[in-house]
Amino acid sequence: TLDRDPTRRMVADAVVGQAQALLDLPPVTRTVTGRRLLGVSRQTVKRVITLAMAYHLEGDARYADRAEKEMLAAAAFRDWNPSHFLDVAEMTLALAIGYDWLHPQLAPGSRETIRAALVDKGVALQFDGEHTGWIQATNNWGQVCHGGLTAGALAVLEDEPDLAARTVHSALNNVTASMAAYAPHGSYPEGPSYWSYGTTYNVVLIAALESVLGTDFGLSRAPGFDVTGQYPALATGPSGLFFNYADGGDRRGVQPALFWFAERHSRPDWLLGERDRLRTTLSELSAEDAASGGGRFLPLLLLWMRDDRPAPPVGIPLHWSGGGETPITVHRSSWTEPGATYVGLKGGSPSANHGQMDTGSFVLDADGVRWALDLGAEPYHGIEARGMNLWDRAQDSDRWTIFRQQNEGHNTLVFDGEPQTVSGHAGIVGFSEAPAFPHSIVDLSPVYAGQAQSVERGVALLPSRAVLVQDEISGLEPGRLVRWGMITRARTSEASGAALTLTEGEKRLRMDLLSPSDTRWQVIGTGMPRHEWDSPNPGTRMIAFEAVAPDSGNLRLAVLLTPGSAQAEPVRELRPLADWEATPPARILPVDGRMGGEAGS
């Protein structure tokens, strides 16, 4: 069937090419970085899956022999670093796949050594070890660890039936705590990058159970899991970048698990753009890539993808509210126009796993450009090496001294330089997909507790493809300073009154400061680190303004973001957020009375 689909043939050729590059590389060594062996475990996963798949594609014994050496090297480690159990789980998966796929090719002594390592250094530790906090985890740890260890247990089922039964029973009873995060609509609280990690291992778990036992015991029917295949597309803007809330990057790589979802649910539209991404990735692979742990699940595409078919109509919604623990909403003007406008808005809490003080933050794409961006996660190793506690989410934690974690480093509000309230949770209180006025409203009051009585942010996608961001704040102490900010990589024009234009190549975005009328734009540098522990953010800047709370304690902040390709429209007035549900704003009035301006020229 490979010859019927050129893309599948490209995958097979790439797997063999990577396997060839691995033949002359030495096996992995036990090298711990900080507190993690995770990089080595991921290298091992990639090497073993790649070499084992290449053997089955080509029948060349060199690939099986090289995979055997890799597994024996890992089996000889004194341990797989159980204090950071993800390392154990991924290493267990690596040896489980090699042991299973290459069982007849392994020397009898090698089989015994690998099987013993799978049991003693992997699967049995969940019952006999001290590092078991992940077993009832509600985040990606539960998915990765149960997925990896269940694969290991099923690989040794014939020799260790009791251990395998206990492992499967534990996974079925506990991984649902992690899978509850997909309810109700398939969103993922840790963001799209961690969706890829946790969900891939969840799919591996289900696929292994079905392959060996003939059933997944209902796991794939968990609420929201059946529709989470559309989440990566929803969380990707027309720029091709992720809406990277929480600790995640904005670069989207190939998602092999998406092909499993698309086939499972007969939804090829969930693969929107994925084959193009795959072909680009394959065309850029080099021999040096084989040594890394990146793209380690690429060979599984040959198990999960089906022959290419004509592109189906897109059935994914243009406007979507994910619900769940970390609610996000997205609005986009089109699935087919490359220059479509896309805006994503985030609710939730800084206290969520991998959470940041990005509650109320938004990203914006238009005309193929990511105009409003999220800086992503601060790399973990550098912070941990300084002895800072990155993972404590208390209000006074070191975590909130990091610029990329603070609300000052996001496209949200800051009151007198104060942080958001970590324990607060912001819910989506208004959402509409009505074509005339699609919009979302998030109640930010709990994350600004003690700073204002009520804080709401509304984001609307207008018929012109412009975006309105409107904040309504009450109960402010008079004189309190409120900062509105948006980080961008675009160059800025000199502000003309309340209007400012961003440029990226030939593309433009006009920013009109509609309210309050007595303030002006400023540009704040974000490229240089704020503290010695902060990473630089080269080429970035924050477009901001500050407003002083009046005697009434009430403020309305409103900004209109108009892409250069958007059509001008008549203007009238702003309306309160409370009226958005019943009656959309008739028109939007820039302070200089013009619409589009430079951005429309």
Asked whether the predicted pLDDT for residue 292 surpasses 60, the reply is yes
In tens, the pLDDT along 448-484 reads: 999 999 999 999 999 999 999 999 999 999 999 999 9
Confidence of residue 595 (pLDDT cuts 50, 70, 90): very low
In tens, the pLDDT along 143-181 reads: 999 999 999 999 999 999 999 999 999 999 999 999 999
Give the model's pLDDT for residue 427: 97
How many angstroms separate the CA atoms of 299 and 305, rounded?
A: 10
| Rg of the chain on CA atoms, in Å | 26
Give the model's pLDDT for residue 570: 52
Number of neighbouring beta carbons within 10 Å of residue 544: 17
Give the model's pLDDT for residue 597: 28
Give the model's pLDDT for residue 584: 52
In tens, the pLDDT along 350-363 reads: 999 999 999 999 99
Number of neighbouring beta carbons within 10 Å of residue 292: 12
Asked whether the predicted pLDDT for residue 16 surpasses 70, the reply is yes
Number of neighbouring beta carbons within 10 Å of residue 449: 14
Give the model's pLDDT for residue 599: 28
Confidence of residue 596 (pLDDT cuts 50, 70, 90): very low
Element (H, E) at 562: strand 555-563
In tens, the pLDDT along 217-243 reads: 999 999 999 999 999 999 999 999 999
Buried b (16+ CB within 10 A) or exposed e, 121-158: bbbbbbeeeeeeebbebebbbbbbbbbbbbbbbbbbbe
Asked whether the predicted pLDDT for residue 538 surpasses 50, the reply is yes
Residue 567 DSSP code: P
In tens, the pLDDT along 406-450 reads: 999 999 999 999 999 999 999 999 999 999 999 999 999 999 999
Give the model's pLDDT for residue 494: 77
Give the model's pLDDT for residue 265: 96
Give the model's pLDDT for residue 594: 28
In tens, the pLDDT along 486-504 reads: 999 999 987 777 899 999 9
In tens, the pLDDT along 84-139 reads: 999 999 999 999 999 999 999 999 999 999 999 999 999 999 999 899 999 999 99
Can you tell me the mean pLDDT for 199-223? Answer: 98
Of 129, 213, 96, nearest to 165 by C-alpha is 213
Give the model's pLDDT for residue 215: 98
Asked whether the predicted pLDDT for residue 583 surpasses 90, the reply is no
Which residue has 């590092």 as its token pair?
Answer: 131
In tens, the pLDDT along 55-83 reads: 999 999 999 999 999 999 999 999 999 99
Asked whether the predicted pLDDT for residue 593 surpasses 90, the reply is no
Give the model's pLDDT for residue 493: 85
Asked whether the predicted pLDDT for residue 569 surpasses 70, the reply is no
How many angstroms separate the CA atoms of 66 and 22, rounded?
A: 8
Confidence of residue 2 (pLDDT cuts 50, 70, 90): confident
What the block records as the tokens of 258 is 């998406």
Q: What value does the mean pLDDT of the chain take?
A: 94
Give the model's pLDDT for residue 4: 86
